[in-house]
Amino acid sequence: MIQAGIIGGSGYTAGELLRLLIHHPGVALNFVYSTTNSGVPISKQHPDLIGEIDLEFTDTINPNIDVLFLCLGHGRSKSFLSDHSFSPTTKVIDLGNDFRLVEDKRYLNRDFVYGLPELQKDQITVANNIANPGCFATAIQLGLLPLVSSGKIKDAIHINATTGSTGAGVMPGGTTHFSWRDNNFSSYKVFTHQHLGEIEQSLKQLQPDIDVPIFFIPNRGNFSKGIYATMYTKYEGSEEEANELYKTFYKEAQFTMISDQEIHLKQVVNTNKCILHISKKNEMLLITSVIDNLIKGASGQAIHNMNLMFGLDERVGLELKASAF
């Protein structure tokens, strides 16, 4: 059994990671580290896990575990790894943004591989350290990779994507309270969102000569989970050709699929799926992408990466039922 540890176990992302790992047939949860909740039963912080887990949060670590999941929030993983020593054989999967860009991928003798399986499956399989992609970045990249892989993007990319309130984390803020979110809608970090760097990096990886602006408008939705993203750009081919391009690109992908019908969030919430829909109007190709921000956009993708790193079937522990209705 793979011995796993989680650092920072009280947030939404860690909660989903716990739910998935305790039912993963190849994993034993060794510890869940939290200095603020040490000694508190995990099922008290995550009450849906009553009867499923009897561990308590701890403020000590086992440095010899097989895999370590860092759920510390953006910018905190480097300091944690600096302050705590782990075995050189311990694989690290960081769910923050500390190591996603090429210039940040090497730290303390650890080389981090960007963990988007649909882009870098072979590299992930032999990696010891993974930088898990961001949630918006996952939905958007999966919508654009087939186009850049064939050099089809020649003009500006326009993106409008809406995420649920869980994307803002557990800590309350002015824009996360129910009374603010309910019957409300807003944009934030327009054209400047932190996920743009990793998106641009991956696009250039497949289409090195790409030199087009990306106009990304992130939105806050009045729902809890999910990302609904639409992207459009000029495209010279037909809608049928575009659909064939996407289906060919993702033919071996275990969790990304193309729908011939229009799509919606409940098809993917509570799953590790990304579903895409392609249509064309006049000269513009429209790509719609839907994911669960906490699973495909975070914890589920982390487990997918773990499965690849340890030579397991990609789908083990991730065959999940969608909300559906």
Greatest CA separation found in the chain?
A: 61
For 184-206, the pLDDT digits (tens) are 989 988 888 888 999 999 999 99
Going residue by residue through the chain, which has 325 residues, state the pLDDT in tens, using 9 for 90 and above: 999 999 998 888 999 999 999 999 999 999 999 988 899 999 999 999 999 999 999 999 999 999 999 999 778 899 999 999 999 999 999 999 999 999 999 999 999 999 999 999 999 999 999 999 999 999 999 999 999 999 999 999 999 999 998 876 655 566 777 777 788 989 988 888 888 999 999 999 999 999 999 999 999 999 989 999 999 999 999 999 999 999 999 999 999 999 999 999 999 999 999 999 999 999 999 999 999 999 999 999 999 999 999 999 999 999 999 987 6
Residue 17 lies in a domain: yes
CATH classification of the domain holding 9 = 3.40.50.720
174 and 286 inside one domain: yes
* pLDDT at 166 (0 to 100): 84
Give buried/exposed letters for 211-244 (b at 16+ CB in 10 A, else e). Answer: eeebebebbbbebebbbbbbbbbebeeeeeebbe
Q: Has residue 314 been placed in a domain?
A: no
Question: Based on the domain organization, do 93 and 141 belong to the same domain?
Answer: no
145: phi then psi, degrees, rounded to nearest 5: -55, -45
Looking at the fold, whether 79 and 189 belong to one and the same domain comes out as: no
Within its chain, how far is the Cα of 131 from the centroid? Answer: 10
226 domain-assigned = yes
Asked if residue 202 and residue 238 are part of one domain, the reply reads yes
- 160 with 245, same domain: the answer is yes
Residues 78 and 187 in one domain: no
60 and 144 assigned to the same domain: no
CATH of residue 279's domain is 3.30.360.10
Measured distance CA(293)–CA(295) in Å, rounded:
6
For residue 54, how many C-alpha atoms fall within 13 Å in the half-sphere facing its CB?
Answer: 1
Give the residue from 10, 289, 8, 321 showing the smallest Cα distance to 163.
Answer: 289
Q: How many CB atoms lie within 10 A of CB 246?
A: 22
Q: What pLDDT, on a 0 to 100 scale, did the predictor assign at position 169?
A: 67
Same domain, 101 and 190: no
Task: Give pTM, 2 decimals.
Answer: 0.95
Query: Are 101 and 143 contained in the same domain?
Result: no
**Cβ-based neighbour number of residue 258 at 10 Å:** 22
User: 78 is in which domain, residue-wise?
Assistant: 2-133+296-309
Asked whether residue 323 is assigned to any structural domain, the reply reads: no
Residues 121 and 56 in one domain: yes
Judgement on whether residues 140 and 187 belong to the same structural domain of the protein: yes
The predicted structure's pLDDT at residue 10: 83
Catalytic residue among 135, 203, 231, 276: 135
Based on the residue annotation, tell me whether 135 is a catalytic residue of this protein.
yes
Label each residue of the chain as H, E or C.
Answer: CEEEEEECCCCHHHHHHHHHHCCCCCEEEEEEECCCCCCCEHHHHCHHHCCCCCCECECCCCCCCCEEEECCCCCCHHHHHHHCCCCCCCEEEECCCCCCCHHHCEECCEECEECCHHHHHHHHHCCCEEECCCHHHHHHHHHHHHHHHCCCCCCCEEEEEEECHHHHCCCCCCCCCHHHHCCCCEECCCCCCCCHHHHHHHHHHHCCCCCCCEEEEEEECCCCCCEEEEEEEECCCCHHHHHHHHHHHCCCCCCEEEECCCCCHHHCCCCCCEEEEEEEECCEEEEEEEECCCHHHHHHHHHHHHHHHCCCCCCCCCCCCCCCC
pLDDT for position 142: 98
pLDDT tens, position by position, 107-126: 999 999 999 999 999 999 99
Query: Are 156 and 125 members of one domain?
Result: no
Query: Do the domain assignments include residue 217?
Result: yes
Q: How many domains does the structure of the chain reveal?
A: 2
Establish if 320 belongs to a structural domain: no
324 assigned to some structural domain: no
The answer to whether position 31 is within a domain reads: yes
